[in-house]
Amino acid sequence: MADLIIFLVLLAMGYGFGRYAEAKHYKSIIQREAEFRDIPVVTSKFPPLTKPLSDVELVTGSVVISVDYFKRFIAGLRNLVGGRVTAYETLLDRARREAILRMQEEARAFGGYIIFNVKLETSSIHKGRKNSIGAVEVLAYGTVLIKQ
């Protein structure tokens, strides 16, 4: 009985705090994306030829984000029937956008104006079997062109 109560409390806390944190995070992501729109992020390998010659520098941005208790439970249920696991989709979306934003922040600190050859790398972080941590790490890295 006590176990069930703890489980329900954790579920409710996960739902409440998790939703709040996600809404807040998305709001901040959208706001900062608008702010950094002047530093384009492109995946092409070579710098655009129209740009003047300039210095280059490696920039990185990384973030580790964890999923909340409620979403992990929902994802576990989804495992039974199969299909899209929307709970984890938003987690990865948030992590990728946040990593790119941090990379852009670093680029701005260098005084750069475009980031190209951007690569994204995702890895999951586990902590054993029993109390596994459903967290992902996303690393974004690229080369920034700096005005001379």
- Ramachandran angles phi, psi of 121, nearest 5°: -130, 135
Angle, helix 86-110 to helix 2-35, in steps of 10 degrees: 40
Determine, following the binding rule CB under 8 A, whether residue 6 of this chain makes contact with other proteins: no
Q: CA angle, 70 as apex, 19 and 102 as ends, to 5°?
A: 50
Using CA atoms, how far apart are residues 65 and 123, in angstroms rounded to an integer?
A: 11
Report whether 95 contacts 18 (CB < 8 A): no
Extended strands (E) in 32-134? 55-66, 112-125
Instruction: Kindly identify the residues of this chain, within the stretch 11-50, that bind other proteins according to CB under 8 A.
Output: 13-14, 17-18, 21-22, 25, 45-47
CB of 147 to other proteins, least distance (A): 13
Please report, as residue ranges, which positions from 62 to 91 form the binding site for other proteins (by CB under 8 A).
62-69, 71-72
Q: How far apart are CA 116 and CA 118, in angstroms?
A: 5
- Which CB atom, from 53 or from 82, has the smaller least distance to other proteins? 53
3-state DSSP assignment of residue 19: helix
> In the set 23, 28, 42, 127, which binds other proteins (CB under 8 A)?
127
Tokens at residue 97, please? 């956008």
Our finding on whether 54 is near other proteins (CB under 8 A) is yes
Give 78 or 82: the residue with its C-beta nearer to other proteins.
78
Comparing CB distances to other proteins, the nearer of 13 and 30 is 13
Minimum distance from residue 66 beta carbon to other proteins (Å): 5
Q: How many CB atoms lie within 10 A of CB 140?
A: 26
Query: Using the rule CB under 8 A, is 103 a contact of other proteins?
Result: no
Which residues make up the interface to other proteins (CB under 8 A)? 10, 13-14, 17-18, 21-22, 25, 45-47, 53-54, 56-58, 60, 62-69, 71-72, 98, 116-117, 119, 121, 123-128, 131, 133-135, 137, 139, 141-143, 145
